[in-house]
Amino acid sequence: MKNTTNPTEPTELTKCQCGAITVNIDGNDYSMLPKTFDELFPNQNSAEIEEKFFSCNYCTNHWGVDLCGCGSGELFQKCYNNLPECKRPAQSIENGIKSCYSDNGWG
C-alpha cells in the first residue's frame, strides 16, 4: 500500500543491540541512532521499535546516515581524520533520493 505513505517513509524498522535503528527504504537499508531517526522520521516512534539484531551495519561496518563517510565510526562532522570522505556522511537519505557510500568505492 505504497500510495498512502510518503516515499521516504521507512519500512522494516529494526533496532540493534548497539542502539542503532536500521530502516528499509525502497529496498535499501539505512542505519542511524534513535535521535537521528526521530529527526528524520517524525511520524515514527523509535521507542516502539523492537530490538532484535545483535549486530548491524552501524556497529559492524560503520555505515549510517549520521556516521562519518570515512568509516571511522565517528559521528558525521565529529570526525577529525580530515579525509575527503569526512565531508559526507556514510549514507544519506534526501528527498527520496538515496545515496549510499557504504561500498568500498566511497561513491
Alpha helices in the chain (DSSP H): 34-40
Secondary structure in 3-state letters for 52-91: EECCCHHHHHCCCCCEECCCCCCECCCCCCCCHHHHCECE
Please report whether residue 81 would count as binding Zn ion according to CB under 5 A.
Answer: yes
CB of 23 or CB of 59, closer to Zn ion: 59
Stretch that binds Zn ion, among 5-13, 38-46, 70-78, 96-104 (CB under 5 A): 70-78
User: Which 7-66 residues touch Zn ion, going by CB under 5 A?
Assistant: 16, 18, 20, 56, 58-59
Q: Which residues bind Zn ion (CB under 5 A)?
A: 16, 18, 20, 56, 58-59, 68, 70, 72, 79, 81, 86
